[in-house]
Amino acid sequence: MSAGFHIVVCGSLVPDPLQTLEPIRGPQGPGLKNEMMLPAILDPWAGHALFEAANLAASGGKVWLLSMGPKAKLQQVMMSVAQKAPFELVVLDGPAGGFTDAHFTARALAEAIEGIAGLDRSRLLLFGGWQSASRGAGSTLQMVGERLGVLDQFQGVDEIRVQDDGAFVVKERVEGGGYLVSRCAGPPAVLGWATGNLPEPPNNPQLGMANMRLIMPALQRAEPVPAEPGGLSFASVELPKARRETRLVKDLPPAEVAADILAWIKS
């Protein structure tokens, strides 16, 4: 019985994972060197959340994707994301970097959700990644949830099973490769997704075309959200320096390599 869900997926862009990242200090605080030139993707865990949302809403309901990031970069990323799942885009033209305070992001997102026309908060499922690949804090969604008064929250979610009575069972990752299984009476709820169980959907050009009719206007409408300095101040941001002296062991028979490794394991 997912017909009624109104799912808002919070997710922004992060650098494509294989890019070389280097911190720099700018007037607004730390950032990444060549940040605007780095190819970007939708934050992977938020991406999983979006696919799960689309899957849930396939039999009814609606999905919004709420993204805060530089408008030009978001436009680019949307050309890939738009082909994956049906959604309506809500854009905030603001910072998407990892050094932005989660508190600031949460406030901006919560205000944007409050402004979504047609959103029924009693049917709200607030989705997102359980952490971003930039800040990696795992705190924004909970704060957005609190601002919206949502008391049922789950993090590290890999599965949601909706039951006939509108309740749903959620599996959250816990220590040691296990899951905490909970049953929630129904929306509203916050779900911070881990990987989930769905594969990445194929690129669907028709979907892309349909999404695009709303994406471009949403991008054009996007209001700038200026960063606020707040009380967070960075003393330094550095790449790890330690480079190990790697001892190369070549031309040793496998049995001797095995013996060497065993001695090391036992040491």
Partner 1 sequence: MEKVLFLAHNEEGGGLSRACLEALSAARDLAQGLGAELAVGLFGGEVSGAAEAIGGCGAACFLAAAGPVFASSRYASDAAACEALCRASGAGLVVAAADSRLSRVLPGVAQRLGGRIDTHLTGLWVKDGSPAAARWFYRQRMVAEFTRSERPWLMSVESGCFEAFDGPGAVEPEPVAVDLSEACKRTEVLGLETPSADEQTIRPDAELLFVAGAGWTKKQADGRTHVKEAEGLILDFLNRTKASLGSSKSLVDISGEGHEVISYLTHLHQVGQTGATPRHPKGLAACCHGEEPHVVGWRFIGERRAINLDAGCGWAQGKADVLYVADAFEVLARLNELLARA
Partner 2 sequence: MSASPGSRDQEMERQSMDADIVCVGFGPATAGFLTTLCRGLAEAGAAAESAVMPGMPPQVLCYERAEDIGFGVSGVVTRARGIRASFPDLDLSRIPMAAEVGSEKVVYLLDPVGASRRSPALRLIERLIPRGRKDHAFELPWIPSFLRKEPGLVLSLGQFCQWVGGQVMASGLAQIWPGVPVAGPLFADGRVSGVRLADQGVDRQGRPEAGHMPGMDLRAALTVVGDGPVGPVGRAIDERLGLPAGHHRREWAVGMKMVVDLPEDCPLEPGAVLHTLGYPEPEIFGFLYVYPENTASLGIFVPSWFDNPARTAYRYLQHWMLHPYLWRYLKGGRLRSWGAKSLQESGRAGEPFLVGDGYARIGEGSGSTNVLTGSGVDEAWTTGVQLAEAVLELMAEKRPFSAENLERTYVARRRASWVEAGARRAAKARDGFQRGVLSGLVGMALAGLSGGALNWPGRSRRPHERIPSLEDYCRGLIPAEDLAALRRECAAKGAALHDAVMDRLGWPEIPFDGRLLVSHQDALLLGGKVQAPAGYADHVVFKDPSVCAACGTRTCVEACSGQAITPGPEGGAPLFDREKCVHCGACLWNCSQADPDDPEASNIEFRAGAGGLHSAEN
Q: Which residues bind partner 2 (CB under 8 A)?
A: 16, 18-20, 34, 36-37, 39, 72, 75-76, 79-80, 83, 199-206, 208-209, 212, 216, 219-220
Q: How far apart are CA 154 and CA 235, in angstroms?
A: 33
Which lies closer to partner 1 via its Cβ, residue 131 or residue 211?
131
Tell me how far, at minimum, the Cβ of 22 lies from partner 1, in Å.
8
The least distance separating partner 2 from the CB of residue 220, rounded to whole angstroms, comes to: 8
Q: Which stretch binds partner 1 (CB under 8 A): 3-11, 62-70, 101-109, 211-219?
A: 101-109
Is residue 36 involved in binding partner 1 (CB under 8 A)? no
261 binds partner 1 (CB under 8 A): yes
Sign of CA dihedral 229, 235, 236, 242: negative
Q: Rounded to the nearest 10 degrees, what angle do helices 140-147 and 102-114 cross at?
A: 40
CA gap 54, 42 in Å, rounded: 15
Print the binding letters for residues 209-248 with partner 1: x by CB under 8 A, - otherwise: ---------------------xxxxxxxxxxx--xxxxxx
Residues in the chain: 267
Residue 83 Cβ vs partner 2, minimum distance, rounded to whole Å: 7
Quick one: which of 178, 135, 174 has its CA closest to 156?
174
Q: d(Cα 231, Cα 60) in Å, to the nearest integer?
A: 43
Interface residue with partner 1 among 12, 67, 83, 139 (CB under 8 A) is 139
Minimum gap (Å) between residue 23 Cβ and partner 2:
15
Q: Is 172 a residue that touches partner 1 (CB under 8 A)?
A: yes
DSSP single-letter state for residue 253? -
Q: How many residues bind partner 1 (CB under 8 A)?
A: 91
Decide if residue 103 touches partner 1 (CB under 8 A).
Answer: yes
Question: How far is it, in rounded angstroms, from Cα 162 to Cα 230?
Answer: 40
Two structure tokens written together for 220 = 């054009």
Least Å distance, CB 179 to partner 2, is 24
Neighbours of 227 (CB within 10 A): 16
Residue 216 interaction partner, one of partner 2, partner 1, none, beta carbon < 5-8 Å per kind? partner 2
Among partner 1, partner 2, none, the one that 75 touches (CB under a kind-dependent 5 to 8 A) is partner 2
Q: Under the criterion CB under 8 A, does residue 177 sit at the interface with partner 1? A: yes
Taking the CB of residue 44, how many other CB atoms lie within 10 A of it?
Answer: 17
Nearest Cα to Cα of residue 14 among 40, 45, 38: 40
Residue 21 binds partner 1, judged by CB under 8 A: yes
Per CB under 8 A, 121 contacts partner 1: no
Closest of 89, 87, 90, 84 to residue 62, by C-alpha: 87
Partner from partner 2, partner 1, none contacting 3, C-beta within 5 to 8 A by type: none
Residue-by-residue DSSP string for 12-30: -EEE-TTS---EEEETTEE
